Amino acid sequence: MDYAENILGTIGNTPLVKMNKLVEDLPCLVLAKYETFNPGNSVKDRMALQMIEDAEADGRLKPGGTIIEGTSGNTGMGLALAAIVKGYKCIFVMADKQSKEKVDIMRAVGAEVIVCPTAVEPDDPRSYYSVSKRLGEETPNSWYVNQYDNPSNAKAHYESTGPEIWKQTDGKITHFVVGVGTGGTISGVGKYLKEQNPNIKVWGVDTYGSVFKKYHETGIFDENEIYPYVTEGIGEDILPKNVDFDIIDGFTKVTDKDACVYTQRLAKEEGMFLGNSAGSAIKGVLQLKEHFKPDDVVVVLFHDHGSRYVGKMFNDDWMREMGYID
């Protein structure tokens, strides 16, 4: 009989899927690393489990403890699933720009969720960074995850996602394209792939309102680049330790409107019901067209599932209110 011991045994080994209609104008093969096949429907299941297991191993997370984290939703889901199996409590802190579905889903799996304002500075005591850190200090027998600076985040992708992509493409991958938030995925996968073949190009997809692209190009952290944006799960107003800028060859920025429009197009033209950052990612690939040649194999990673955005990107009334469709 072939079965997993529990739900955590189904994390990883997600398929590669060929992109067709949306990439007709590109000269190369484009393959999607389809991370919604993880049990929590996102790539974050991988690093959530890794961070928990590493914290258990060195005593930061003790039996019966409480896991505390600031999350845009997907890391929280991954942590919650592992916590259920392993017997921990969860408190998650989110910014109010995240979709209602994400809050509801995390509460559905037993987590306590606290919602904080988006439009405040990262060091403001009301920000989701500050609130999660404070709760970690105040809550007895708790562990504050800090996915942004936790090295187990990138480690998970170095040990699982990267090797999977290398094996699935038979070592023929030439470009890896992915949205960048905490930096764990791009840094872990990118490090592994470049160790196999240093000629592989690693491209990050950034959003307007985020500091990554300018910092990568100039070394300047420009606060004038920072302003609120709609796109969920990618971009930052801080520099997480997990973003290894030396591994990244370049960034392309995608607008909020394009991210939302292409999220809809993925569903309607490719049958891929995916989250908001997937729209950013595929538009980023299209923007990088001049970098691709006929024999290239481009892998783009799609982070999460469309069910988390039904009230936003998949709601035409919301799209019209935002001015994204006529």
- pTM exceeds 0.85, yes or no: yes
Tokens encoding 268 = 């309607």
Q: What is the pLDDT of residue 138?
A: 94
pLDDT of residue 211: 97
Question: What are the average pLDDT values for consecutive 10-residue runs of the chain, which has 326 residues?
Answer: 97 98 98 98 98 97 95 92 97 88 92 90 87 93 96 98 98 98 97 98 98 97 93 94 98 98 98 98 98 98 96 96 94
Backbone angles phi, psi at 109, to 5 degrees: -100, 20
Q: What is the pLDDT of residue 121?
A: 86
Torsion of CA 154, 71, 275, 17, to 10 degrees: 20
Please tell me the class of the 7-37+155-321 domain: alpha beta
Contact 61, 88 (CB under 8 A): yes
Q: Indicate the helix (H) or strand (E) that contains 177.
A: strand 175-179
Distance between CA atoms of residues 75 and 80, nearest Å? 8
Domain boundaries, the chain: 7-37+155-321, 44-144
**What pLDDT is stored for residue 171 in this prediction?**
98
Contact 50, 44 (CB under 8 A): no
Chain length of the chain: 326
Q: What is the pLDDT of residue 95?
A: 87
Residue keyed to tokens 């950052």: 277
CA-closest candidate to residue 206, choices 196, 197, 216, 198: 216
Please give the helix or strand (H or E) that residue 129 lies within, else none.
helix 128-138
Q: What is the pLDDT of residue 123?
A: 86
With H, G, I as helix, E, B as strand and everything else as coil, classify residue 158: helix
| Number of Cβ within a 10 Å radius of residue 81 | 24
Helix (H) or strand (E) holding 155: helix 151-156
Residue-level pLDDT at 217: 97
Query: CA-CA distances (angstroms) from residue 91 to 38, 125, 243, 259, 291?
Result: 22, 17, 25, 30, 43
Give the pLDDT confidence score for residue 81 in this predicted structure: 97
Considering the candidates 18, 21, 33, 44, report the single residue annotated as catalytic.
Answer: 44
Hey, do 7-37+155-321 and 44-144 end up sharing a CATH topology, with the first three levels equal?
Answer: yes
* 44-144 topology per CATH: Rossmann fold (3.40.50)
User: Is-catalytic flag, 44?
Assistant: yes
